Amino acid sequence: MGKVITLGEIMLRFSTSQGTRLAQSDTLAVHYGGGEANVAISLANYGHEASFVSKVPDNALGEAVKKHLQRYHVGTEFLLFGGERLGTYYLESGIGQRAASVVYDRAHSSFAEMTSIDWSEEELFKDVDIFHVSGITPALSSSWQTLTLELIKAAKKHGCKVSFDINYRGKLWTQKEAGRVLKTLLPYVDYCSAGYLDAIHLLGITPQPNEELPYYYKKIQELYPNISVFYSTKREVISASDNQLIGTLWMDQTYYQSATQEIVPIVDRVGGGDAFCGGILHGLLNQEEPQKMIEFATATSALKHTVHGDCNQFSEEEVNSFLAAGSGKIIR
Amino acid sequence: MGKVITLGEIMLRFSTSQGTRLAQSDTLAVHYGGGEANVAISLANYGHEASFVSKVPDNALGEAVKKHLQRYHVGTEFLLFGGERLGTYYLESGIGQRAASVVYDRAHSSFAEMTSIDWSEEELFKDVDIFHVSGITPALSSSWQTLTLELIKAAKKHGCKVSFDINYRGKLWTQKEAGRVLKTLLPYVDYCSAGYLDAIHLLGITPQPNEELPYYYKKIQELYPNISVFYSTKREVISASDNQLIGTLWMDQTYYQSATQEIVPIVDRVGGGDAFCGGILHGLLNQEEPQKMIEFATATSALKHTVHGDCNQFSEEEVNSFLAAGSGKIIR
Amino acid sequence: MGKVITLGEIMLRFSTSQGTRLAQSDTLAVHYGGGEANVAISLANYGHEASFVSKVPDNALGEAVKKHLQRYHVGTEFLLFGGERLGTYYLESGIGQRAASVVYDRAHSSFAEMTSIDWSEEELFKDVDIFHVSGITPALSSSWQTLTLELIKAAKKHGCKVSFDINYRGKLWTQKEAGRVLKTLLPYVDYCSAGYLDAIHLLGITPQPNEELPYYYKKIQELYPNISVFYSTKREVISASDNQLIGTLWMDQTYYQSATQEIVPIVDRVGGGDAFCGGILHGLLNQEEPQKMIEFATATSALKHTVHGDCNQFSEEEVNSFLAAGSGKIIR
Amino acid sequence: MGKVITLGEIMLRFSTSQGTRLAQSDTLAVHYGGGEANVAISLANYGHEASFVSKVPDNALGEAVKKHLQRYHVGTEFLLFGGERLGTYYLESGIGQRAASVVYDRAHSSFAEMTSIDWSEEELFKDVDIFHVSGITPALSSSWQTLTLELIKAAKKHGCKVSFDINYRGKLWTQKEAGRVLKTLLPYVDYCSAGYLDAIHLLGITPQPNEELPYYYKKIQELYPNISVFYSTKREVISASDNQLIGTLWMDQTYYQSATQEIVPIVDRVGGGDAFCGGILHGLLNQEEPQKMIEFATATSALKHTVHGDCNQFSEEEVNSFLAAGSGKIIR
Amino acid sequence: MGKVITLGEIMLRFSTSQGTRLAQSDTLAVHYGGGEANVAISLANYGHEASFVSKVPDNALGEAVKKHLQRYHVGTEFLLFGGERLGTYYLESGIGQRAASVVYDRAHSSFAEMTSIDWSEEELFKDVDIFHVSGITPALSSSWQTLTLELIKAAKKHGCKVSFDINYRGKLWTQKEAGRVLKTLLPYVDYCSAGYLDAIHLLGITPQPNEELPYYYKKIQELYPNISVFYSTKREVISASDNQLIGTLWMDQTYYQSATQEIVPIVDRVGGGDAFCGGILHGLLNQEEPQKMIEFATATSALKHTVHGDCNQFSEEEVNSFLAAGSGKIIR
Amino acid sequence: MGKVITLGEIMLRFSTSQGTRLAQSDTLAVHYGGGEANVAISLANYGHEASFVSKVPDNALGEAVKKHLQRYHVGTEFLLFGGERLGTYYLESGIGQRAASVVYDRAHSSFAEMTSIDWSEEELFKDVDIFHVSGITPALSSSWQTLTLELIKAAKKHGCKVSFDINYRGKLWTQKEAGRVLKTLLPYVDYCSAGYLDAIHLLGITPQPNEELPYYYKKIQELYPNISVFYSTKREVISASDNQLIGTLWMDQTYYQSATQEIVPIVDRVGGGDAFCGGILHGLLNQEEPQKMIEFATATSALKHTVHGDCNQFSEEEVNSFLAAGSGKIIR
């Protein structure tokens, strides 16, 4: 089993029940999550030693975050307490034709307002196999653009593999700004989650009408030959309750694609991508065959869509049983 | 923006949760609604000045109706308090193959038992663009047959357009009785919601095996050339959770039809027709293009099916975003 | 109307809400059910005199079982109180691609640990038309293998028809053990629910690649010519939320099959087979036409899937209305 | 064990949760109850054969009433189906200083509108020990004044004891009207629940400033020497959550009074008087000592206040355990 | 009836259910409230024309605030939409010995960050009888210290009475800072809610060991003879579920005190003071007798404690009924 | 901070909501707890390193137990997975005069059926300061009588202090049997929770009418001079919602008693004693003053009564704030 640390912001999510609009809601469901925290939980579920590196306010909400992570056996030794607030967002759950909608209230969070590295790099990266971070972190502030680069370099120095999920958010920064920062980070990355829109809009690959995803993976790799693995999901949205999901992987100069997962009805889409990412990192840590890896990662993402909350709730054994039995079928 | 008054009964609806039968239910959800109240709420959502004209008992349930209307900024200056009771019905929500079923308990309501016009017609119709009423009101009592005619005539006298939704309910009156009364009302109507079954069974149009809806719209218009606009929805029921909806419109001697809205899963079908009607009246008040009007009205009806409660919860901007993005897709 | 007794274990079922895993659940839904109790409830719903024969602990849970049966007018005069505990199981409800999963905690139950027939056979079988039991009962203990045979023989002696639902459960006994016991019971059976897997794995019929269910029904009947009626359902699992169901019946040397019921979304699958069985026994008691019987039984099973809890909540009239109207459609 | 029939109206009660006003409530709790039905349930709990005589509409709500009664093993063979509606009322639960408030919607109910005795008196009173009815029934209509007298006379003719709970409701009739009717009924009554306000305002006993309840019991008995037993509760209201209750009994020319039950917090006060009445009738049927009878009845009323719903949920054994252990104490 | 505007911040409150800690909560109840908004709702309940002046973000939460105010018929014509966020706080409800605890997350709100008066003073104060504001507003920022003074002066200029609730919050500013600002505001105030701690710690009155509240009221009035009315509540905390409340009033050089309200159990204490303030302003607008005014205000505060949410849900008639009947007693 | 291991059974508790009886409940709340697990959670809350030693089934319920413990940062390295089932019990929550009642279903649990010590004693007791166990464990089976003794001896051998909570349960064993076993265990105990009933009925101390608890503590200590600390609570039950609690401690030949905690209303009494025990052990680990220790332990027990679930949810800082502020009062 491997040792992984993931760094990023964790937020408080308030969700409506399906069929009720946000402005009508008398109660809201409470979940804690964030891309990197969700990846850590997935990996802990599969038996890896995973810790989450972040900062939360020193109040009952910060305490709730800590208990949430502990529950899934994610290490909290690098979870700092302090700062102003916990980033929050409101999810009006979608259903059928009505898409979900989101109200963000994440500015001024304890994590976003960090301006220095308040952990010991020695302790942080000791014996760590993979350091995972996403493009959301440098999008939070110019400080975090500097700090992210510094941490990635430190990780490399300590012999960790660096995993980076581009995860572009137009609400946080412009494509131009993101492109500029990514160019500083990607030279230190080993595993990268990116799609063809990232390739075109952020990394400056010229779009080719007749080319598909493998072409773009190859092109990014030409720019950053240090990146050995690319992966992402293709999602066809039939409705907010019905999506088709295909996992894709570029590894050893070869393109792999999973079977299509028809996800209907969708219970909660949040964290579906993080579950996928967790599945890929699990496969890399365990040196699985690429095809097996991409099927596993896509299956775990599909299963995530069937439970409330941000985090994957399934063990490796359960994901494999699902792959063996097929949709809705029980292995007896 | 226009000024609209709608007149009718508003009822207390008790609904089961999906998957629970009425006789098993320990709790029931409470909603207040009625066709004309729902139309008023839609129009207030779109920024029009809308008031609802009715009578409710002078107790906590009447108070709840008032607060419900106020919440959506519908005027309650013509909401009378008094009489015996609030009409009630029980909806056993359908799901999948099992259709919804309804237990009515609406007799003797404060509104149904009115026998005179207890509002000032001067105040009622002052500066009003549209007076909207439905066929349910004259179905409630012979008094209401007289009063409805009197109010429609008064509305015309004050220069209002009269909007009438036939909305035939076999549990309230016979086709024969309805036909007789409709013939007295329709000569004063400007905008009419009617379907081909209404044309045949209530208005005496001879059915033609090879003819479709436009034929019947044209035929009714020949009888009542004062009616300039006809509209209704065509609904294909796959199951209680899966319907296909098409909006239809006859205007300027031309037939318009919306794209098909595939509504699955359905959260709450009640008020879907009222949302459609609200969309049409909104288009007429704003003098929209007919095709845009029918797409908007059908979209708002589809969205209504995704929320609990009788009333459309969407702004004009949200409906247009939905039309632009498509089913389940978020505009970022 | 007929008189029926059914014998078996009734259990306490804890279910998660859909979208929540068992290990996350802060509350669980409580239902009481068991195949034979569920059949008794179906028959009581249709107006037959039905009693349930079992044993439950003498505590609040046993009391709850009694009230559950009384609620549906099932006789509890043969419900014994005593023993150690009520058998329990935990159902993590499935949804979409994720299948349901079950944790059993049924050992040592008051019923399973019975070692003698503590009812008067005279009273039990007096005026009874059908005695219904399933293969789960002899699977509980070697005592119950003896007692089941004894009771079936006694039923025959008193002139009852014996109805037997094979209902093989691999978690309770091996195919070999089941086959051995079934051979002792089936010679006394009149109506039998069995599928082709039962024929092959339990009753020793040689599988024939090109043969379908009617062949296997015929073959079992050759072994046990005393059995006049065979029935079972064929279920196609698209997902945990979407199943297709066909009812099958072998009677008067003829094979009958119902129309396909497309069940989507599924609210609660537990008890779907028992509702089907109840529909068949109702048809037999009322001497319905076979095709009508199989359509009715399949329809009632489909309806059961739309409500929470183990038991069929529908009257004969409601099932017939559903058959007349079709999926999701209301008869007005 | 005795055999008892009780006759009266059963209603649908909607209750708010504590701390929420009626006009704010999105859901309401559903209970079915009525004084006489509640008494029947108490007696069935204690092992007597009890049936409830009434009429409910032939719809899902009537069906729910039937299942409610069956659940507690109350006979429904005299429950008629038909008429217009089920009487309904809305209870805004009180808490602390805020008293409960009620909105009635009970007019035009199936039971209230009965105009003839639609049961066979032979079947109704066969082997019955006690026929129980309350003053609410003759308050419903002039028909019911006649029918109640007729039924009481028939009961006497068949050798039943007649139990009558005066239960005066100012919202249903005037004191004068009630007094007039009571004078026709009381000459046939054996057991009577009445308080000193009834004595003064309905039965014309002259108030005596220095006299307490025993005096009034004696005075009513002088008027109606046929009445052998009087009983009622004295309730001190500290707040909606805190009441003190004392049971009183006049029997064999002697006055008995229970220990004070301090009931805090109160969960649901509805049905507290009916539980008390059930306790008295149980004592009379079992020929208990008067002091034991009044302690038992008051204790069962106190326990009723600790559970939601109209009906006493306690067995004789549980009430006796409570009397033995004292408030809040467990017998181990 | 009067016309009133109130100005201040309105916040989103998340509350736990009683018995559950914040860090354990899977759902939280949603309420919208703020001192001045709550006062406006009270006054609208009593029939006055009340509007609330504030700024909220232009998103679904701002929309929810608007609907909340509309529901109670509070005018929203001065509710601006824009800025960054809605101030939020988390209330862990107290019960018994355990006090409530609060986590604030209110910084950077749309209202707090206002730096200019974005309403027309002409429109704001037109025909207004009372302008109500509290000490929380100038505590939000130095801008608001200036703007509050400016608005109060403008109100006076337009002939409004100015009502000011000192409402000192140590988490927002120091006593020294508050004292400095209050000295600039109080010379323009007509009605003032203040306690003896305010007198001593903010306004510099020397404490006198043997003096009670009337002394301090008199002393503040000596400093600010323009203030004609002082009021506040004295609260004795037995536990989080049990408080004793006394209202106090200084008017016409006379001290008035209400009867003690024993509030147990407390459902929700938030807004209790605002309900009291609303009661006083109602009395002043209606020129009630001082003793009647203080009893009414204290009673409405007591009733507020029995309902969830920030706002008084009671009409003038209901408060008077409560005063007439007493704790927990129903007027029939 | 200290290091502690606690050994015992952990059970699944199903609880009704207050005001609903078990046989009526459609849903039940799920909690996991057991005396020793609860003590471990308290100590982990206070910052000690605590692990729980037990065995649970290898299914979703065992997984839930593990996540429950992890959430509170209790070590699960000695939590074994296997065996038949998780012990279960059903708590009908009491309220007011109605006491709670319990249905046990704990026989045959994975822990109770252990017959050997399946942990390495070396690993178990390494660096451990306190080993805590209760009298429930030897009550489970004769195997556990042997194993408990063996473990206690091993603990002593490894230099641990042994903490033992007598916790006599009449449903598990007789006083005679308990007395016999306790005599074998107590010679190895350092800290002991015992009351005067234990002294008299289990340990054979002759009751003295005029003597109070200190006498009995002294007498037990004469028998077992190895025990340096005795403690227990005195609980006065006013009702199920209102208890008075006093903590008692015998240490250094001196008797200490806490102030009385008046606990009303009680949310959940389960685990109140374990919270007290956790407070004592915390005081011993930190070498607090005895009076401070007993106040702290009693306060934490009082706070536990205000939250749902078995476990103390409070930090050392929160308990101390409560002690400083007093009942229901907030420290600002």
| D171 has a chain B CB within 8 A of its CB | no
Judged by CB atoms closer than 8 Å, whether chains meet at B103 and D59 is answered as yes
Question: A163 - beta bridge partners?
Answer: A132, A191
What is the structure's pLDDT at D140?
98
| D26 has a chain B CB within 8 A of its CB | yes
What is the structure's pLDDT at F330?
74
Statement: residue A270 has pLDDT above 90: yes
Judged by CB atoms closer than 8 Å, whether chains meet at A71 and F73 is answered as no
What is the structure's pLDDT at A330?
74
pLDDT in tens, A154-173: 999 999 999 999 999 999 99
Residue at D182: amino acid letter = L
Nearest 5 degrees, angle CA A87-CA A91-CA A95? 165
DSSP secondary structure string, F88-151?
A: EEEEE--BTTBPPEEEEE-TT-TTTT--S--S-HHHHHTT-SEEEEETHHHHH-HHHHHHHHHH
Q: Give me the residue from E19, E239, E240 closest to F268, CB to CB.
A: E19
DSSP secondary structure string, F30-98?
A: EEEE-HHHHHHHHHHHTT-EEEEEEEE-SSHHHHHHHHHHHHTT-B-TTEEE-SS---EEEEE--BTTB
Query: C11: distance to nearest CA of chain A, Å?
Result: 20
Sketch out chain B's domains with CATH numbers: 3-325 (3.40.1190.20)
Cβ contacts from B onto D, under 8 A = 67
Statement: residue B37 has pLDDT above 80: yes
Secondary structure letter of residue C186 according to DSSP: G
| A67 has a chain C CB within 8 A of its CB | no
Judged by CB atoms closer than 8 Å, whether chains meet at A88 and E101 is answered as no
Q: Give me the residue from A267, A327, A330 closest to C19, CB to CB.
A: A267
Query: B17: distance to nearest CA of chain C, Å?
Result: 10
CA-to-CA distance for D182 and D176, rounded, in angstroms?
10
ipTM, 2 dp: 0.96
Judged by CB atoms closer than 8 Å, whether chains meet at F26 and C29 is answered as yes
Query: B302: distance to nearest CA of chain D, Å?
Result: 23
Query: B22: distance to nearest CA of chain D, Å?
Result: 6
Query: A44: distance to nearest CA of chain B, Å?
Result: 32
CA-to-CA distance for C106 and C172, rounded, in angstroms?
10
What is the structure's pLDDT at B332?
56
CA-to-CA distance for C187 and B172, rounded, in angstroms?
59
In a mutational test of the F interface, the residue from E18, E20, E97 whose CB has the highest number of chain F CBs within 10 Å is E97
Is residue F20 very low, low, confident or very high in pLDDT (cuts 50, 70, 90)?
very high
Query: F26: distance to nearest CA of chain E, Å?
Result: 20
Q: Which residues of chain D have pLDDT under 50?
A: none
> Minimal CA–CA distance to E201: which of E246, E131, E112, E135?
E135
In a mutational test of the F interface, the residue from E236, E239, E305 whose CB has the highest number of chain F CBs within 10 Å is E239
In a mutational test of the D interface, the residue from F16, F17, F97 whose CB has the highest number of chain D CBs within 10 Å is F97
What is the structure's pLDDT at F331?
64
| E264 has a chain D CB within 8 A of its CB | yes
Statement: residue A261 has pLDDT above 90: yes
In a mutational test of the B interface, the residue from C18, C67, C243, C264 whose CB has the highest number of chain B CBs within 10 Å is C264
CA-to-CA distance for A229 and A256, rounded, in angstroms?
11
Judged by CB atoms closer than 8 Å, whether chains meet at D267 and F96 is answered as yes
Statement: residue A331 has pLDDT above 70: no
What is the structure's pLDDT at D329?
84
Residue at B156: amino acid letter = K
pLDDT in tens, F220-243: 999 999 999 999 999 999 999 999
Statement: residue E317 has pLDDT above 60: yes
Query: D88: distance to nearest CA of chain E, Å?
Result: 19
In a mutational test of the A interface, the residue from C16, C26, C95, C98 whose CB has the highest number of chain A CBs within 10 Å is C98
| E27 has a chain F CB within 8 A of its CB | no
What is the structure's pLDDT at C47?
97
Judged by CB atoms closer than 8 Å, whether chains meet at B72 and E72 is answered as no
Radius of gyration, CA atoms only, chain F: 19
3-state helix/strand/coil string of B272-318:
HHHHHHHHHHHHHHCCCCHHHHHHHHHHHHHHHCCCCCCCCCCCHHH
Phi then psi dihedrals of residue A72, to 5 deg: -95, 15
Judged by CB atoms closer than 8 Å, whether chains meet at E14 and A29 is answered as no
What is the structure's pLDDT at C38?
98
CA-to-CA distance for C85 and D27, rounded, in angstroms?
36
| E244 has a chain A CB within 8 A of its CB | no
| F169 has a chain A CB within 8 A of its CB | no
Query: D139: distance to nearest CA of chain E, Å?
Result: 17
In a mutational test of the F interface, the residue from A70, A74, A312 whose CB has the highest number of chain F CBs within 10 Å is A70
Judged by CB atoms closer than 8 Å, whether chains meet at A242 and B328 is answered as yes
Residue of A nearest to F68 (CA): A71
| E265 has a chain D CB within 8 A of its CB | yes
Residue of C nearest to A243 (CA): C96
Residue C207, preceding peptide bond in cis (omega within 30° of 0): no
Residue of D nearest to E265 (CA): D96
Statement: residue E279 has pLDDT above 80: yes
Predicted structure pTM score: 0.97
| Binding-face residues of B in 86-115 toward C, CB within 8 A | 94-101
Residues of F in contact with A81 (CB under 8 A): none
Query: E54: distance to nearest CA of chain F, Å?
Result: 28
Residue of B nearest to C269 (CA): B19
Query: A73: distance to nearest CA of chain F, Å?
Result: 7
Residues of C in contact with D44 (CB under 8 A): none
pLDDT in tens, C211-234: 999 999 999 999 999 999 999 999
Judged by CB atoms closer than 8 Å, whether chains meet at E71 and B70 is answered as yes
Q: Which residues of chain C have pLDDT under 70?
A: 331-332
Question: B56 - beta bridge partners?
Answer: B81
Judged by CB atoms closer than 8 Å, whether chains meet at F71 and A73 is answered as no
Which pair of tokens denotes residue C22? 């068992």
pLDDT in tens, A192-224: 999 999 999 999 999 999 999 999 999 999 999
| F41 has a chain E CB within 8 A of its CB | no
> Minimal CA–CA distance to D94: which of F134, E330, F306?
E330
CA B204 centroid distance within chain: 23
Sequence-ordered list of residues with C-beta below 8 angstroms from that of D141, at least 6 positions apart, any chain: D112, D113, D115
pLDDT in tens, F24-74: 999 999 999 999 999 999 999 999 999 999 999 999 999 999 999 999 999
Residues of D in contact with F171 (CB under 8 A): 332
